[in-house]
Amino acid sequence: MLISVRQLARVYQMGEHVVRALAGVDLDIQAGEFISIVGASGSGKSTLMHLLGCLDRATSGTYELDGRPVMAMSDRELALVRNKHIGFVFQTFNLINRTSALDNVGIPLFYGRQARVREKAMASLERVGLANRYKHKPSEMSGGERQRVAIARAIVNNPTVIFADEPTGNLDTRTGEQILEIFHDLHQSGVTIVMVTHEMSVAAQARRLVHMTDGLIDADREVTTELRRELVQAGVLGATRVQNEQHLETEGTPS
């Protein structure tokens, strides 16, 4: 088991209020899975992703990553885990604007004190089909290209798992699909992918779908043809598609 979580909880103290962002979650993810976590905003899906991604510490519960207890790790060890085993892709890309695509991709290698940074970063850019744009700065790129640079940065250290937080949220449908295509390819090559989204049409691209409400998992299903049909019938899957396409026609073709 790659990820194994038991009764994971995250409680925030907001002034006098206690917010239970995550109320005790059990979850197992095997190596090589492609899993979506869906839910309304405030359902705790982002909190869960931050905990799984070792960016935040849980208030209680247990978390084993590749058999190692994450809760007991020091800040330094967590940094090392994030550097070597985890890749992040964000909704807003989060690239550093003043440096080139190549330099952005090389950042994890830099903090991993690795040699041959340029070479490895270039290979990573090639994997997302942006080798010819390596010199460009993020501000000179389209949204889709920026997200591909971000993916290249996430995979440059050959991580075991990639966490993607609304990776298509700032992209139009067509570009979003291209990005999802890259995730599929990565999944094919054996990378574990955990994707957080509130769009059912995007979530349904994964092989497994976890639904969260109020800090708890209330559904955990394999994405089968049957489930897809159900979603279309419920008007969730088809409706989003149609909506998006209409939106595109009125707005014109985005860059």
Task: Using CB under 8 A, list all residues that contact another protein.
Answer: 50, 53, 55-56, 75-76, 79-80, 82-84, 88, 90, 94-96, 98-99, 107-108, 110-113, 153, 157
**Which residue number, 38 or 109, has a Cβ lying nearer to another protein?**
109
Cα–Cα distances in Å, from 97 out to 90, 133, 178?
15, 14, 23
CB 206 within 8 A of CB 34: yes
**Which residue number, 144 or 159, has a Cβ lying nearer to another protein?**
159
Q: Which of 29, 6, 4, 49 is nearest to 191 (CA)?
A: 29
Nearest approach in angstroms of CB 163 to another protein is 9
Q: Which of 42, 41, 3 is nearest to 22 (CA)?
A: 42
For residue 75, the one-letter residue type is D
**Which residue number, 1 or 96, has a Cβ lying nearer to another protein?**
96
Question: Is residue 61 helix, strand or coil?
Answer: strand
CB 87 within 8 A of CB 157: yes
Query: Which tokens in the block code for residue 85?
Result: 């085993």
**Which residue number, 186 or 209, has a Cβ lying nearer to another protein?**
186
For residue 105, the one-letter residue type is V
Nearest approach in angstroms of CB 107 to another protein is 5
Nearest approach in angstroms of CB 155 to another protein is 11
